Each structure stands twice: as structure tokens, then as C-alpha cells.
Amino acid sequence: MGYSDKDIEEGELPFTVSDQSDILDIVSLLINGLQLIVIAVGAISLVVGSIGIMNIMLVTVTERTKEIGTLKALGFTQNNILYLFLTESVFISLIGGIIGVMVGILMAYSATSYMNIDISIPFYAVVGGFVISVLIGIISGSYPAKRAAEMDPVEALRRE
Amino acid sequence: MIRPDISAKMSVQSLKSSKLRSALTSLGIIIGIAAVVITFSFGASYNSYFETQVVGMGNNFIVIIATKENVFRNSHLQIIESTPGISGVSPALTVNGELEFMGKTKSVQINGVSSEMMEVANLEMLEGKFIADSDKYSAVLSKQVARDNMKTEIKPRNFVNLIIPDESDSGRKKSYRFKVKGIQGLEEEGIVVGHNMNTVYVPIDVLRELSGNESFNMFFAMADSQDEISNVSKEVEKRLGRSIGIPERDLEKNITSFNIINQADVMSIVSSLSSVLQTFLVGLGSISLLVGSVGIMNIMLVTVTERTSEIGLMKAIGYTKSDILFIFLTESAILSVSGGIVGTIIGLIFAYFGMTLIGMGLNITLFTVSIGIIVSFLIGIIAGVYPAYRAAQMDPVVSLRKE
């Protein structure tokens, strides 16, 4: 039709071309957007859950003040105690993570079979679930564990 | 029964005694309630945004589209006009043609309409006027045609050439000179109904003559009122069916040579779509609320265990089971509701900024505000019931003996 390439770039054509890959692009853009929103909203409950872990670890540390004093008196270093409480918090979080991944897969399976869609569980989603739960355990356990590690053994033992 | 204010005072004392723990527990509820408020107000704003878009599409319109060729004639126009409840109707004939201006050509959809089209389809004019019934070779261009993709913007009183295929002459394309009478469109276009199509409006009689097409392929009709729209649209369908010779049985099975769409249908489709989205988002948001309520229950169980000897003492000096139940329920409700109030405020602030960012108006209803507080109260009660029950059931002798 005698249009120069410059005109094509500027879209000055009496026709538009749209092929299937354009449509697929738009669809996958929409789906990616939706997936992002869904994951973000889902992640909020993880934040709430990690606050819960931190809270209960703080309670545990307070409850075991006397025990921490005894451990320190017996020669446990600050690092040992830090490690002890971090392990505990990672343990709680990882157990939650394993059960969470299983429940999630089960739910996704029943939802997709209900909607007649083939299920696709990416490997990284499962591994990601475990890794994230370990990270949450470490992050939310670090403050309570630090509090436990820095306790003065004399003060801790004196407390009733 | 213990006085509520005394119980509240005791609860506040207990919560104050471990400030960090109480703050973290309500933080869980704050985040959960904020998530629900954000997703809820997002959904509600989205809903009302799309509803105004659909309302902007026309004034109680009913569109009748022929699905075969040569279905509608002048007599059908009269049938629709005489149907009770119809306050205006414009026939339409759509032809794919081209528009030429200053040596540039582009494909356009040429719509032959009558002057009533403007009111029925709620068309807004950017410049100039819409075509009148007495007009001959006048054209109204959509904003897209006039302003985009052309080297020079087309203004009213410019002359353009419309290239129209003539069906009575085996589809040969012929060029005619039209005077631009106006530019149709809105400065800001919506998402759903961007009038951003390459549309040119010309008087219907002129287009029928030039294209050699005697029939109409669409009618844009307008109902008197919004409530009557569905009934009027059914009546139009029945009358048209009778005139074309389609039995009512076939009308019900949709074996017709025309389709009928009205604004009420479009509205209900849009609102059902957006309410599905809203339910989905709120459902996701409420998962964090569930997690937060598990946190409350957990911390209340700790509190009850910690205060075992206090509970024993209270029982020993005459507090009844229901007093103790009430005290612990109050504590858990205060924890949760304070989280709910803060969460609602934070959620509304976030929703406000989010909506301003996207450019939709925020639609805060009393419902949005009250739902967060009511839900957080209920969560406080539900999450607190088991720990409070455990406290109430404690044997005073055993609890006093415990160190």
C-alpha cells in the first residue's frame, strides 16, 4: 500500500494487525497480574502467622527464664542459647510449612478438579513453601532468641 | 454477675502487664482487618465504577441487532416506535468503509443513524453538533477518527471523503464528499466503554441511498424508565417476532433473526462479574483474619495458664464460673476490637491511596467501616471462648496449689 516503515512504527496505518501471540500476551499479562495480587494477599496471612510465632516465642522465653539462667550457670554460651531458641522457632515454623504445603496442594487439587482444570503444581512453589517457612522461623525467632541469649544469669536465676 | 466496667478494668490491667505481647496479638488482627477492609472497599469501588460506566453507555437503551441480512425495514421501525414504554428509537445501518482526509485514508465504521441516536446512546459532543434529520452530506466523527493517526486533526466544517461500497452496484467502492459537523467523544475515556472506535455517523437515509442497502441492521431504542427496561425489551421482541413471523416458541429458544440487548442485562452481567471478584478477594483477605484469630486464642491460652493461681484465688473469694468466663471473654474482645479499629483505619487509608493511584473514586460505606469492627468483636468472642471456658472450669483447690 506504499506505507513507509516510519509510518508503521507510528501506527499511521489504515489497518491494525493483531495475531494470536498478541492475544496470548494480553491473557498471560492479566493472569500474571491476578496471580501477583493473589500471592500478595496470601502473603499477608503469612506475615500474621509469623507475628504469632514471634509472640509465642517471647512467651516461651519469659516462661523459661529460670531454665535459661540454669543453662547459663552450667556454662552454655550466648551463642548456644541463641541457637537453641532459633532451632525451636524454625522447628515450629517448618512443621507449619510442611502441613501448609500439603493442605495447599490438597485444596488446589480439589478446587482444580472441581473446575475441571488440569492441576499444575510448580516444583518451586513446594520448595518455596519450605524455604519461606524456615526463613520466617529464623526472622520471627531472632528477637526472642536474642532476648534469651542476653539474659543476665544471676537475674534470671533470682526470678521466681 | 460481675459488672462489665470492673471486668473491663481488670482486662485492661492484664493486657497492660505484658504490653509487647498484647501489641503483637492485636497486630495480627490489625493486619487481617486491614486486608479485609482494603479488598472490600477495592471491590465496592470497582463495582460502582463499572456501574457508572454502564450507565454512561446510554439512557435505558435497548439494542436490537439483526443477525441475518435484510431483516429490518421501515415497518419494523414503526413497530418499535409504537411499543408502549419506548421514548425514542434510532434505526442504524453499519457499513465498513474508508475515510480520506488530506491524502490519508483509514478504515472506519460508517453508521447511518437518525438524530435520536445522540440521546439514546448518550453520545457526548466534543466539538460541533450531532447530525439533524434534515442534514444530507454531514458527518460526525468519533474522537479517534478525528484526532488519532492523522497528520492533521480534523475540525468541524472540514470536508472529508467517505468511501462507501455500493451493494446495488456489486459492492463497488465510491467516494463521496461529506462536511464534518461535529466530533463525538469524551476527553477522558472509560475502560469498559471507551468510545474509541473508528466510527463515523452520517444521516441514515443518505447512507441507505449510497450503499444501496434498503434494510437496517440495528435499532437503538430507549425505554422510558430503568425499571421498565426488561419488560419493554420483551414486548419489543414479541412484537418484532410476530411481524417477522417467528413463533413465540422460537423466540424463547432464541431461534430468531435478531438479538436484543438492554442496559439492564449489561448491568447485571457487569455487577455479577465484579461481585464474584469482590467475594474472591475478600475471601483471600479473610484468611489472614483467621490466622490472626488463632493468634488471639493462643495468647489467651497462655494468659489463662499464667494466671492459674490468680483464677484459683478469685474462685476462693467467691467469683462464679460465669464471672471468670466473662472476665476472660472481655479481655479477648478488647484485644481483638482494638485491633479491629486500628485495622479499619489503616485499611481505609491504604484503600484511599490505592484508589487514588488507580484513579477510581473511593467508595466508603458505613457498611465497610462497621463490618471491620463487628467482625473483630465476633473474632474476639469466638477465639476467647475456649480459653475462657478453660479458666472457668478450673478447680480452685488445684489451681491454688499450683505455683
Tens of pLDDT along B19-50? 888 999 999 999 999 988 888 887 777 777 77
Least confident of A11-15, B68-72, B299-303: A11-15
Domain boundary among B256, B284, B309: B256
Q: Which of A:42-61 have CB within 8 Å of B?
A: 42, 44-45, 47-49, 51-52, 54-56, 58-59
Domain boundary among B195, B223, B256: B256
- Residue B386: inside a domain: yes
Does residue B222 sit in the same domain as residue B96? Answer: yes
- Which chain B positions have a beta carbon within 8 Å of A49's beta carbon? 291, 295
- Residue B61: inside a domain: no
- Residue A5: inside a domain: no
- Residue B168: inside a domain: yes
- Residue B230: inside a domain: yes
Does residue B245 sit in the same domain as residue B281? Answer: no
Does residue B233 sit in the same domain as residue B295? Answer: no
Give the pLDDT confidence score for residue B37 in this predicted structure: 87
Give the pLDDT confidence score for residue B230 in this predicted structure: 81
Q: Which residue has the higher pLDDT, A35 or B151?
A: A35
pLDDT reading at B192 higher than 50: no
Give the pLDDT confidence score for residue A24 in this predicted structure: 66
Q: Which residue range forms the structural domain that includes residue B92?
A: 68-256
Give the pLDDT confidence score for residue B104 in this predicted structure: 81
- Residue A1: inside a domain: no
The ipTM assigned to this model is 0.75
- Residue A39: inside a domain: no
Rounded Cα–Cα distance for residues A61 and A148 (Å): 6
CA dist B333 to B1, B6, B17, B303, B327, Å?
18, 15, 17, 14, 10
Across the range B320-331, mean pLDDT stands at 92
Does residue B108 sit in the same domain as residue B223? Answer: yes
- Count how many domains chain A has: 1
Give the pLDDT confidence score for residue B386 in this predicted structure: 95
Instruction: Name which of A45, A54, A136 to mutate to probe chain B: the one with the most chain B Cβ atoms within 10 A of its Cβ.
Output: A45
Residue A148 CB burial class (10 angstroms; 0-12, 13-18, ≥19): buried
Cell numbers at residue B402, please?
Answer: 499450683
Does residue B304 sit in the same domain as residue B388? Answer: yes
Domain boundary among B204, B223, B256: B256
Cell numbers at residue B195, please?
Answer: 468510545
Give the pLDDT confidence score for residue B157 in this predicted structure: 84
Is the separation of the CB atoms in B327 and B2 below 8 Å?
Answer: yes
Q: Which residues of chain A have pLDDT under 70?
A: 1-27, 29-30, 160
Pairing mode, strands B159-166 and B199-203: unpaired
- Count how many domains chain B has: 2
Q: What percent of chain B has pLDDT over 70?
A: 92
Does residue B102 sit in the same domain as residue B183? Answer: yes
- The per-residue pLDDT for range A17-33, each reduced to its tens digit, is 555 565 666 667 667 77
pLDDT reading at B233 higher than 90: no
Give the pLDDT confidence score for residue B253 in this predicted structure: 64
Q: Which residue range forms the structural domain that includes residue A102?
A: 44-158
Does residue B138 sit in the same domain as residue B244? Answer: yes
Does residue B141 sit in the same domain as residue B165? Answer: yes
- Residue A75: inside a domain: yes
- The per-residue pLDDT for range B376-398, each reduced to its tens digit, is 999 999 999 999 999 999 888 88
Instruction: Name which of A16, A35, A50, A51 to mutate to probe chain B: the one with the most chain B Cβ atoms within 10 A of its Cβ.
Output: A51
CA distance B299 to chain A (A): 7
Among A14, A42, A47, select the one facing B106 at the smallest CB separation: A14
pTM confidence score: 0.69
Is the separation of the CB atoms in B333 and B296 below 8 Å?
Answer: no
- Which chain B positions have a beta carbon within 8 Å of A55's beta carbon? 21, 24-25, 295, 298-299
CA distance A50 to chain B (A): 9
Distance from first CA to last CA of chain B, Å, rounded?
A: 28
| A117 touching chain B per CB within 8 A | no
Rounded Cα–Cα distance for residues B336 and B40 (Å): 19
Q: Coil, strand or helix: which one is B307?
A: coil
CB crowding B121-160: b at 16 or more within 10 Å, else e: bbbebbbbebbeeebeebbbbbbbbbeebeeeebebebeb
- Residue B60: inside a domain: no
Does residue B78 sit in the same domain as residue B20? Answer: no
Among chain A residues, CA nearest to B105: A14
Q: Which residue has the higher pLDDT, B18 or B338?
A: B338
Does residue B114 sit in the same domain as residue B197? Answer: yes
Give the pLDDT confidence score for residue B194 in this predicted structure: 43
| Closest by CA position to B292, among listed B5, B4, B32 | B32
**Of A47-51, B109-113, B212-216, B269-273, where does the model show the most confidence?**
A47-51
Across the range B286-302, mean pLDDT stands at 91
Measure CA A26 to chain center.
29
Across the range B307-311, mean pLDDT stands at 89
Does residue B162 sit in the same domain as residue B290? Answer: no
Q: Which of A:2-31 have CB within 8 Å of B?
A: 11-15
- Residue B264: inside a domain: no
Does residue B193 sit in the same domain as residue B332? Answer: no
DSSP one-letter string for B110-152: EEEE-TTHHHHTTPPEEEE-PPPTT-SSEEEEEHHHHHSSSSS
Rounded Cα–Cα distance for residues A152 and A150 (Å): 6
